[in-house]
Amino acid sequence: MLIILSGCKSFQSAQPIEGEEPVARVFDKYLYKSEVESYRFEFNTKEDSSRFVKGFIDGWIKDQLLYEKAIKNLPENNEEINKQVEEYRSSLIRFLYEKEMLAQNLEAEIKNEAIQNYYETYKENFKLSQNVIRPRYIVIDKKHEKVDSIKKWILSEDPDEVENFNNFAIQYSDNYANGKTWFVLEDFNKNLPFELAEPQVLLNDNKYMEWKQKDFIYMLFVDEYGKKDSIAPLDYKKQDIEKIIVNKRKTDYLKKMKERIYNDALNKQEFEIYESK
């Protein structure tokens, strides 16, 4: 931390600032008490605080001395340094401007229709490399008084009963899934005392499965599944598609913006292209 903080060169002044209390000086550059305090953290002891301040000041001094040594020993007009500084400044300004333009002009919301259209157009690109499932699942004490209610809730599509299941799971189970998260089947098996070895099990008309082991009952309802080498369900790829659409919109917008700026400058004769001799 001290190494990182001591590298900060902001707030340096060629002359002392009136009203500021300097704590160190290297040639004509000053480090002020307010700068050090702006990087202070909560310490357990006064000794820890003092060590931090000393390390910060020492690091700042060494940084400035090295900088001055480099200035004296490098060519006065080092073209490589000037070139890199200008390139970085130019790149940073363009980046900040593009970011501001995107924030002002790009539609943030990706509508479900756009996601559906992209999925239908490029679904062959979304083949699964593994079996996946989106389950409602819970492990509870088999003597719990609400076992029958839980079974009813886990099978229901009624919003109130889905909420009942979620609330119960949060309070009474350390091992559950609420039907909103996708799992690779191989990883999901690690939650179980058995193994769903064949995805064919999930193709049965009855997607509800239940097992009892020792003092616990395992309830599993598979909302949706996808088999390896098949087209991934839309819900499984929805977030990926949203990112793809957003990135494409950004790329398209920036391309059009640059073309618009270019054509405007061309019409105003703000640049020229010279023919090679």
Whether residue 233 is contained in a domain is answered as no
Cα separation, 40 vs 36, whole angstroms: 7
Same domain, 139 and 221: yes
DSSP-derived letter for residue 235 is: H
- Number of independent structural domains in the chain: 3
Cα separation, 254 vs 15, whole angstroms: 44
Same domain, 153 and 110: no
Same domain, 218 and 144: yes
Q: Is residue 101 within 8 Å of residue 252, measured between CB atoms?
A: no
Same domain, 136 and 213: yes
- State the burial class of residue 11 (Cβ atoms within 10 Å of its Cβ: 0-12, 13-18, 19+): middle
Query: Which domain range does residue 32 map to?
Result: 2-76
Cα separation, 205 vs 89, whole angstroms: 63
Cα separation, 201 vs 192, whole angstroms: 15
Whether residue 206 is contained in a domain is answered as yes
Cα separation, 96 vs 93, whole angstroms: 5
pLDDT the model gives residue 225? 86
Cα separation, 108 vs 137, whole angstroms: 34
Whether residue 238 is contained in a domain is answered as no
Same domain, 218 and 250: no
Q: Say how many C-beta atoms besides its own lie within 10 A of residue 138's C-beta.
A: 23
Cα separation, 41 vs 28, whole angstroms: 28
pLDDT the model gives residue 24? 92
Distances (CA, A) of 179 to 3, 134, 136, 155, 166: 47, 6, 4, 11, 9
Whether residue 7 is contained in a domain is answered as yes
Same domain, 202 and 182: yes
pLDDT the model gives residue 142? 86
Same domain, 144 and 214: yes
Q: Average pLDDT per run of 10 along the chain, which is 277 residues long?
A: 39 65 90 84 80 91 92 78 90 95 89 95 93 91 90 93 94 90 87 61 65 87 89 94 95 95 94 83
Cα separation, 137 vs 165, whole angstroms: 10
Same domain, 35 and 171: no
pLDDT the model gives residue 231? 95
Same domain, 71 and 112: no
Same domain, 219 and 255: no
Total-model pTM: 0.67
Whether residue 276 is contained in a domain is answered as no
DSSP assignment of 133-147:
EEEEEEEEETT-TTH
Same domain, 58 and 116: no
Name 145's Cβ contacts closer than 8 Å, sequence gap at least 6.
Answer: none
Same domain, 35 and 58: yes
